Amino acid sequence: MAKVKYLQCVKCGKTYSPHEVMYYCPICGIEGTLYVIYEYEKLKDKFTRQALGKNREYSLWRYLDILPVENRPESLNLQVGWTPLYRAVQIQKELGVDCVYVKDDGRNPTASFKDRASAIGVAKAIELKSKVICAASTGNAASSLSGFAACAGISTYIFVPASAPEAKIAQLLIYGSNVVLVDGTYDEAFELCLKASEKFGWYNRSCAINPYLLEGKKTVSFEIMEQLNWEVPDWIVMSIGDGCCISGAWKGFKEMYELGLIDRMPKMLGVQASGSNPVNRAFREGKNYFEYEKPDTLADSISVGIPRNGLKALRALRESYGDVVDVEDYEILEAMKLMARLTGVFGEPAGVTCFAGLRKMIKKNRIKRDEKVVLIVTGNGLKDIKSAISAVEKPIAIKPDINELKKIIK
């Protein structure tokens, strides 16, 4: 792994060689998640706008130069990343703003942003010759790992809270994972998975432990910048659960800046459900630790009591001079409906939480009308049709009769 210079702890800053440490900082324990730091000086000549312009690999593997694996394993050929970025003209009109884009990451192979991380996690497991990968997840990380592991022919153990939406559990089962439904919260499923991975030597895909997964997530930012022809937006908006996604996106921007690909940075706006907002509370109070409260939100993918990558997320918010905002569940449902009706993009609750946050921040004038915004929709709406149906009106039933039809046509 010549590309990686060292791994660095988010908490104490100590650095480690990738051969020395597998998961987190041995001194700080599980809160000491690690950053993967590359030989940026050596990459400067190679990882350029021109080189990318000529690259015909339309997936996240186009960024292999700055990913922590030597190669894409031959078997791992699901098309991940290079998702569409749409100009959301109707959202602009609705909100009275100049420029909003929607990055539809629900278009990935298993229909969520998590696929970016799973691709790297499974590639890494293959490199390490691991026989089993395990993960704890509120849903998408697991269903995503299942799909990628199936593609590569590796077996998986998945720990999910029994409350995960049915579609996500269906994905696990159809991809052939060993599914352990934990009678408890996500936080408890996470602890159990951690113990199992230590006890049985399974490769742990949990993004909050495994430093390499964030490397897949950062590719969303590379794509956004290529798709915007290197014009840096003012705000990147995404939801926060554990905080891995937003940390990954921020790292992508930092690396592009470091490599001279961009000359300014966006602000990161994190959006949380008010029933699950530990990162927001810590941010407001200027703290570097999180106080547990039992999470309560219908947005299952961001229903988190203790954010497992919270320190990295706080750093992304602070370093970028960004912000974080809470939204209520009813605002998330409203956003789900409105996003679908204004863009044709059907996102799951956590996927459209970003849009609810944008609406709030524009009302507060924290985001200005002339600022350029990118919303990252992190998951597809078909993953949680129960929420979708609760967000909309019931269809009108009639007899098959034209006169009856006339009565209801507006």
Ligand X SMILES: *Cc1c(COP(=O)(O)O)cnc(C)c1O
Interactions with ligand X, residue window 319-348 (CB under 6 A): 348
Does residue number 379 form part of the binding site for ligand X (CB under 6 A)?
yes
CB of 325 to ligand X, least distance (A): 14
Does residue number 112 form part of the binding site for ligand X (CB under 6 A)?
yes
Question: Which residues sit in the known binding site for pyridoxal 5'-phosphate?
Answer: 140, 378
Does residue number 244 form part of the binding site for ligand X (CB under 6 A)?
yes
Measured in degrees and rounded to the nearest 5, phi and psi for residue 36 equal: -95, 120
Which DSSP letter does residue 393 get?
A: P
CB of 304 to ligand X, least distance (A): 6
Q: Which residue is nearest to ligand X (CB)?
A: 379
CB of 368 to ligand X, least distance (A): 25
Give the Cα-Cα-Cα angle 66, 71, 74 (nearest 5 degrees). Answer: 145
Comparison of 73 and 347: residue with beta carbon closer to ligand X? 347
Does residue number 28 form part of the binding site for Zn ion (CB under 5 A)?
yes
Binding-residue pattern over the window 275 to 314 for ligand X, x denoting contact by CB under 6 A: --------------------------xx------------
CB atoms within 10 A of CB 300: 28
Comparison of 147 and 243: residue with beta carbon closer to ligand X? 243
Category of 230 on φ-ψ map: left (φ > 0), alpha (ψ -120 to 50) or beta: left
Does residue number 350 form part of the binding site for ligand X (CB under 6 A)?
yes
Comparison of 216 and 351: residue with beta carbon closer to ligand X? 351
Cα–Cα distance for residue pair 36/90, rounded to 1 Å: 39
Distances (CA, A) of 301 to 140, 304, 332, 340, 379: 7, 8, 13, 19, 9
How many Cα atoms are found within 13 Å in the side-chain-facing hemisphere of 210? 31
- What strands lie across the sheet with 132-136, from one edge to the other? 178-182, 155-161, 132-136, 203-204
Comparison of 324 and 367: residue with beta carbon closer to ligand X? 324
CB of 250 to ligand X, least distance (A): 12
DSSP class per residue in 250-314: HHHHHHHHHTTS-SS-PEEEEEEETTB-HHHHHHHTT-SS--------S-GGG--SS-TTHHHHH
CB of 174 to ligand X, least distance (A): 18
From the list ligand X, Zn ion, none, partner contacted by residue 147 (C-beta under 5 to 8 A by kind): none
Does residue number 11 form part of the binding site for Zn ion (CB under 5 A)?
yes
Q: Of the candidates 123, 110, 324, which has an alpha carbon nearest to the alpha carbon of residue 210?
A: 123
Question: Which residues sit in the known binding site?
Answer: 140, 378
- Mark the segment that binds ligand X (CB under 6 A) among 4-12, 75-83, 107-115, 367-375: 107-115
Cα–Cα distance for residue pair 9/31, rounded to 1 Å: 9
Structure tokens that stand for 268 in this block: 């990161």
Positions touching Zn ion (CB under 5 A) are 9, 11-12, 25, 27-28, 32
Positions touching ligand X (CB under 6 A) are 112-114, 140, 239-245, 301-302, 348, 350-351, 378-379
